[in-house]
Amino acid sequence: MDEQLFFKKLNNLCTSKEIFDFLSSLEVMSDTMASGALQRISDVEVDNNGLKNPGVLENEVFRALCFQFEFESSKLSNTGLLNALEALITLRIDPQSTLMESLLSESEARLGKGQLTAENLCALGESLLELESPSCVTLEQIVNHMQGKDMEKWSPREIMMVYKILQVTVREGKQYQNLLNRLNSVTLPTVSQLSPNFLSVILNSLVVLHQTQAVALVTALCKHSVNHVPHLTDCELVNVLEAFLYFGHREQMFTEALETHVPKSILTMHPQTVCKVMEYCCKKMILSKPIFDAVAEGFISDADRLTTDQIAGYIIPFGTLNYLPPSASSLFRKLETVLNTRFGHFQPHTLLNLLHSCVLIQRYPLNFLPKVFSPYFLQKLQAQPPGLNRVVTSQLTRLFVTVTLECPFYEGPKLPPKYQVKAFPMPHNSCDVHLLKRVKTGLLYLLKKRIYFASEVSTPYFYAIDIEIKLDEEGFVLPVAQCEEVHRRIALCVDGQNRFCANSHNLLGEEAIKQRHLQLLGYEVVQIPFFEIESLENGRKMAEYLHKKIFPHTYGLGK
């Protein structure tokens, strides 16, 4: 039968029985046709869970095909040999079987003699990478032969396959940076031709191979990924998100594409993919209400089938970015139910992160705090990495401070003093030094003397205030050193961009809880956000702004 007609008929067959009946009707077929038949059988019989019907491997027609390939491997064309190898690996044929050893040794012999084209080399590389323990020596040979080919003429598939092979060989300590530099340059003009799968694989390879210097290529791939978001599989989307995180790339259109895609796909998306989307939003400080609202609904529906790490991955970003979705009451009711039934299944540090994120948005885990503050739980925290480092003790302390200030009716165990920090660290949202300097200049213009305000003041309950001003009973400003006759304390929170979600006026969770607690400690909190003072041109305008902000009911202080 003519090959073109053969493949047309073969590709219309949808079961292995139809394929075997079709093959039985033929008297003769080429090795290309026979290997194509094996590939079609693998397409029909293998899914994400493996081989659907192992009985296929015992079929007489299938065994006859395998017999031919095993004993006539030296007579096969390169295409027939490599297509058969790929199909049999997909069908999970034992790599130690005589059939597979025959095909592998023949492929390696032709590789050694330089008889394989660039396309053949990629096909062999792809097959080897599917094996559990591919021969790195053979993969290196493939890379070395590929270097001898005209790289400018490589197809996107060939480019993608070399990246995948380099991932494995570089892990073994082999150095190919010169080849990678050439490959990165050749890939750049082909970016617009890349399929979602190829784009995802190449981005993943650039991460694994630490190609931080390939800025132009990474930028082009990230921009192009925007078009592919609706078509990416879960695994491919995770690769793309990891690349955005690893390379620190930000693309507003990519976030917008996610905002369209995630709500539509949330109920079918793998939980690990949802966690990666939330990690992306959290680390980039992107408060995307469409995404967060969809994830909240997804959690309410699917929480019972999530792992403990996935539960934390869904919920923690809500606290970090200080956002309560419309379904908040149902969301946290579901979380409480899950914690009640699975509390002991959580790793201690995961549990602490989760409960800490809840208090940031005024969701108080009072039923679980007696267990968290118990010596047993604290010892478990200490015993597991990272132990009781400053971040962990700060989270414990914030839980303690929250129930003390916001839940005075709580009568359970308290956090022992030895686990409490003296001051909360502010690594992510420490004060914007430039902004603080401008505000202090304006205050000096307003109050005339530096003695009337203090900066970076420590308070009870471990918070530091950007600027403190003290007033007496009549509203006159007192020197900050004075401790008597203090009637009011004003805490100025000089909030730079790093205290807000990206492109937003929404405070981050840790800053929101700080300002809430300062109010409960008796301070009058005055927020000085960056977006209100950015355009103030000089000290006098800043002083006028501060006058209205701090002393709205008095006149003439700045004159």
Condensed to tens digits (0 to 9), the pLDDT of residues 358-373 reads 999 999 999 999 999 9
Query: What does the CA dihedral 438, 444, 447, 449 come to, rounded to 10 degrees?
Result: 150
Which pLDDT band holds residue 558 (cuts at 50, 70, 90)?
very low
Cα–Cα distance measured from residue 29 to residue 67, given in angstroms and rounded to the nearest whole number: 15
The Cβ-side half-sphere exposure at 541, using a 13 Å CA radius, reads 7
Rg (CA), the chain: 32
Residue type, 447: L
Answer yes or no: is pLDDT of 534 > 60. yes
339-360 residue pLDDT tens: 999 999 999 999 999 999 999 9
Calculate mean pLDDT across residues 509-531: 95
Contact between 112 and 141 (Cβ < 8 Å): yes
Give the pLDDT score at 507.
97
Answer yes or no: is pLDDT of 559 > 50. no
Residue type, 54: P
Cα–Cα distance measured from residue 176 to residue 139, given in angstroms and rounded to the nearest whole number: 13
Whether cis (ω within 30° of 0) applies to the bond prior to 263 is no
Pick the closest to residue 272 from 244, 235, 300 (CA basis): 235
CA distances from residue 201 to 47, 209, 243 in whole angstroms, order as listed: 20, 12, 10
Give 49's contacts (C-beta < 8 A, 6+ positions apart).
none
Pick the closest to residue 3 from 25, 34, 40 (CA basis): 34
Give the pLDDT score at 173.
58
Calculate mean pLDDT across residues 514-535: 95
C-alpha of 447 from chain center: 48
Instruction: Spell out the domain ranges in the chain.
Output: 1-115, 433-550
Report which of residues 407 and 428 the model is more confident about: 407
The packing angle between helices 252-265 and 215-228, to 10°, is: 40
Backbone dihedral angles phi then psi of residue 131, each to the nearest 5 degrees: -75, 150
15-59 residue pLDDT tens: 999 999 999 998 888 999 999 999 999 999 998 888 898 999 999
Give the pLDDT score at 153.
85
304-318 residue pLDDT tens: 999 999 999 999 999
Alpha helices in 148-270 (DSSP H): 156-171, 177-187, 196-208, 215-228, 234-247, 252-265
Backbone dihedral angles phi then psi of residue 368, each to the nearest 5 degrees: -105, -10
Answer yes or no: is pLDDT of 555 > 60. no
Cα–Cα distance measured from residue 244 to residue 207, given in angstroms and rounded to the nearest whole number: 10
The backbone region for 172, taken as left when phi is positive above 0, alpha when psi lies in -120 to 50, beta otherwise, is alpha
Cα–Cα distance measured from residue 522 to residue 282, given in angstroms and rounded to the nearest whole number: 32
**pTM for this entry:** 0.87
For the record, the structure tokens of 70 come out as 């095993």
**Angle at Cα 302 formed by Cα 299 and Cα 305, nearest 5°?**
125
Contact between 29 and 3 (Cβ < 8 Å): no
Residue 204, classified by CB atoms within 10 Å of its CB into exposed (0-12), middle (13-18) or buried (19+), is buried
Give the pLDDT score at 455.
92
For the record, the structure tokens of 354 come out as 């989760």
Cα–Cα distance measured from residue 392 to residue 425, given in angstroms and rounded to the nearest whole number: 11
Give the pLDDT score at 425.
73
Residue 162, classified by CB atoms within 10 Å of its CB into exposed (0-12), middle (13-18) or buried (19+), is buried
For the record, the structure tokens of 51 come out as 């081989």
Give 513's contacts (C-beta < 8 A, 6+ positions apart).
359, 360, 398, 402
Give the pLDDT score at 467.
96
Cα–Cα distance measured from residue 455 to residue 430, given in angstroms and rounded to the nearest whole number: 13
Calculate mean pLDDT across residues 224-241: 96
Answer yes or no: is pLDDT of 132 > 80. no
Of the spans 141-145, 147-151, 419-423, 507-511, which averages the highest pLDDT?
Answer: 507-511
Give the pLDDT score at 144.
85
DSSP state letters, 464-532? EEEEEEEE-TTSPEEPTT--TT--EEEEEEEE-GGGB-TTSS-B-HHHHHHHHHHHHTTEEEEEEEHHH
Number of CB atoms found within 10 A of residue 268's CB:
9
Residue type, 118: A
The DSSP code for 449 is: S
Contact between 310 and 302 (Cβ < 8 Å): no
CATH 3.40.960 fits 433-550, yes or no: yes
| SS3 track for 380-446 | HHHHCCCCCCHHHHHHHHHHHHHHHHHCCCCCCCCCCHHHCCCCCCCCCCCCCHHHHHHHHHHHHHH
Backbone dihedral angles phi then psi of residue 64, each to the nearest 5 degrees: -65, -40
The β-bridge relationship of strands 488-495 and 523-529 is parallel
